[in-house]
Amino acid sequence: MRYIKASVSRARTSLSIFVAIMLMGFVSYISIPVELNPDVSVPVIVTTIIHEGISPEDAERLLSKPLEVELKTLEGLTQVSSFSSEGAATVITEFDVSFDSSQALNDVRTAIDRAKAKFPQSTEEPIVQEVSAAGIPIVQIAIAGEGVPERVLLKVAQDLQREIETLPEVLSADMVGEREELLEALIDPAQLETYGITNQQIVQAVTSNNRLIPAGALNTGQGSFSVKLPGLIETQDDLFELPIAANSQGVLTLSDIAEVRRTFKDAERFSFANGQRSISINVEKRKGANLIEAMNKIDGIVEATLPALPPAVTIAYMNNTAPMVIEQNLGLQGNMVTSMVLVLIVVIAAVGIRSGILVTLAVPFSFLFAFIVISALGFTYNFMVIFGLLLGLGMLIDGAIVMVEFADTKMSEGYTKEDAYEEAVNRMFWPIIASTATTLAAFLPMMFWPGVAGEFMRYLPITVFAVLVGSLLYALLFAPVLGSLFGKASGTVQGVNTPSHHQDEVDTSKLGGFSRFYAAILRGAVHSPVLIFIGSVVTLISIVIAYFNFGAGVEFFTAVEPNQTRVQVFARGNFSPEEIRDVVVDVERRIMDVGYYKSVVTQSGAGQSLGGGQGSAPGSGGHHLRGVYRPAHP
């Protein structure tokens, strides 16, 4: 191979490229976004249409059906389904797996705009959500306090939400368990009779005076300026001083006939943290953002808030996924270091210290090369990528071992270091290529796995491909260059140029121990190829038959001890929010009686979802509990 002569003769250039790839890989490693699960595009879009007070039958007739008619005209659509409930309708649109999510969202919104002409006038703006496999909150922040006024907890939660939502890594920070503030007017009927005022007059006065009035601009001849008329009710005093009626004797305001006070709307959603009433903030990170960096910034915001809080207010993290990601990251680093040490020990015991170091360098080089590819493809650092790296770990040093061992054999026969590694490349180039290609061929079909599962699993073969290509590059280029510079040459005939067609025949009768036994087996196998072929086919068929008869079956993921468990409670009937809360709290109490949990988050009410994927639509009756288990069970 001519390229190896050029590489060895220009060793400084080759080493510069080697170091540059290592540095680029390290920079890519520290810049890759870290998250727990792969962000897979699920071809499902959920549209929720809210109309307060509408019955399920009317929701289906007036909301679901008109939207379904418009959605069925879209291209790439595979299925449209819907369900209607008290106060809302939800339409689930499923596209082909090869869909373009941005185009699909635009098409769905266009269909909604056409269908809105058939909706009742008081229907709220439809909510369009794209389902994501990675849409799990990275953390739930629970704000609670025994005996603390609700308004204090709400103020703390609002301040935290405002600060967290400004982070570029955060997609949303939704509050659960809060109640909206409002001004309540308690009208005195006796005062209405005294002043001759009707309820309709009061409603009309509030409605007509709470409007944004665009007054335009005033042209003075020497310039113009905008005119603003106070028309919106923004403060408590604006409502107090709202005029209801007027005559020559004076002006009657709302405060003269009613008592106006601050209060909250009736609760529709409830949140509990470890059995204590709380306000929770579910934080979701933005796609492609680094989970660890996002969590560190959230920690900084919470730490800065704590000194200003009342002593009775507590802020706790629930279902924090950052420690799991950090554990995965440290696990990979530990496995890489352990593998390097083990490879170094095994290879040094077999071929010596210098050769062992040359082979071991294949591990960090292949990993860092893979990080360059992963970063270029826009992948995140998730558990599927980690699994692919660890899977490739056991295969990436094969080529380097073959190359270095063959060169050492040639140097012991009298070759110079340069000639030995050149001969190694010439003789082992295609065998190493073929060996790596057969391994890659085994993972190639996974890259064409259709469906959502294929989108999820494609991280694995691509990562293995990147690792093995890096190992191939190291074995065929950089290992010979490094070996020609730092390899150990023969001490007997150093400098003698041995012909490249040197014979490799070995007298197996002079071997001893296991090597002699293994050579005898190979000699018999070579002389009986038909028998070996038939035996291989019979063994393969026997393994398949045995597995189907005695195996444990097939499952997508292996059964492991879960870190989190979610309980979803459904109920039928016209339950009030308080009744639903009591049902879910009863389930929570029973779960807590079992024990072995670290934390329990309970949320009830319309539209609650603690996990990724499709959540419950408003009014659908889905209510959730999620528990994080302790690491060890007694």
The rounded average pLDDT for each run of 10 residues, N- to C-terminus, in the chain (634 residues) is 81 91 92 78 86 87 91 86 87 82 85 90 85 74 87 90 90 84 81 80 79 73 74 75 80 81 81 84 83 90 90 87 80 74 77 81 91 89 83 83 86 84 88 88 83 79 92 90 75 44 56 76 87 93 90 70 77 78 87 82 62 38 48 37
User: How many alpha carbons lie under 13 Å from residue 96 in its C-beta half-sphere?
Assistant: 8
Domains and CATH numbers, the chain: 2-36+324-500 (1.20.1640.10), 41-132 (3.30.70.1430), 181-214+225-264 (3.30.2090.10)
Helices (H), 306-450: 322-351, 353-360, 362-376, 383-393, 398-412, 417-443
Distances (CA, A) of 616 to 122, 239, 472: 23, 37, 49
CB atoms within 10 A of CB 542: 10
Q: Which residue has the tokens 């509030």?
A: 206
Is residue 119 within 8 A of residue 49, CB to CB? The reply is: yes
Provide CB contacts within 8 A for 377, sequence distance 6+. 462
Provide CB contacts within 8 A for 36, sequence distance 6+. 134, 136, 138, 291, 321, 324, 325, 328, 382, 383
Is residue 410 within 8 A of residue 420, CB to CB? The reply is: yes
Closest C-alpha among 69, 165, 157, 153 to residue 111: 69
How far is the C-alpha of 501 from the C-alpha of 571, rounded, in Å?
A: 82
pLDDT, residue 22, reads 93
SS3 504: coil
According to DSSP, the residues that pair with 45 across neighbouring strands are 93, 130
pLDDT, residue 499, reads 46
In terms of residues, how long is the chain?
634
For the four alpha carbons of 509, 515, 521 and 522, in that order, the dihedral sign comes to: negative
Assigned token pair, 208: 């007509």
Q: How far apart are the first and last CA of the chain?
A: 63
Is residue 184 within 8 A of residue 263, CB to CB? The reply is: yes
pLDDT, residue 163, reads 92
How far is the C-alpha of 440 from the C-alpha of 438, rounded, in Å?
A: 5
Assigned token pair, 17: 């490229």
